[in-house]
Amino acid sequence: MILLLGAAVLLLAGPRDTTSTMSTIVTPTISRAPVTGIRSSIIADSIVVEKARHTLTLFQAGMAVRTYQVALGKQPKGDKVKRGDNRTPEGEFFIDFKNPNSKYHKALHISYPDAVHSARASALGVSPGGDIMIHGLPPAYANVGAQHREFDWTEGCIAVTDKEIEEIWAAIPMGAPIHIKP
């Protein structure tokens, strides 16, 4: 009924010029493309580092969401035993604090040493070391970018570029588990 009424109104109105109507239609201007069906930022709940592959992978609900190439301690093979051995520790840890003012851009602190590493170092009469972090680059080397990964240069930390630590920093919550594999 309504459809018939609308058609009758159009017929009675007669012919008219539609160019003026067309020129008043406004098309919105889009300043940026909307993100549809894609997360605009990475969200993760855990980290896995594979030392042999030199990778750090972020996971969300058991699914890998992003993998980064990393530089490790100067002695990348083997578990960290003591302070100064330049090894990246292996095992299950968690992110226990974030340092926004790190001398390596930003840093996520890893909960090393755990009870096992502390006991082993104590039995050997040495310090287990500490301050193991996932971090960016020092300001003097920030322009080196991804080339920093061509050799292992840290004292046991896991290094990524400044852009990458920004992503990881935003994606990983405090307390997130990190598994560092040989």
Chain segment 51-84, per-residue pLDDT in tens: 999 999 999 999 999 999 999 999 999 999 999 9
Contacts of 77 (CB under 8 A, 6+ apart): 51, 87, 182
Is the pLDDT reported for residue 121 higher than 60? yes
Mean pLDDT of 26-37: 40
β-pair partners for 92: 179
3-state secondary structure of 53: helix
Nearest to 109 by CA among 51, 69, 156, 45: 156
% of the chain with per-residue pLDDT over 90: 71
Max mean pLDDT among 2-16, 19-33, 97-111 falls in: 97-111
Chain centroid to CA 49 = 13
Is the pLDDT reported for residue 144 higher than 60? yes
- R_g of the chain, CA atoms, integer Å: 28
Q: What is the pLDDT of residue 6?
A: 47
Q: What is the pLDDT of residue 141?
A: 87
Per-residue pLDDT band at 29 (split at 50, 70, 90): very low
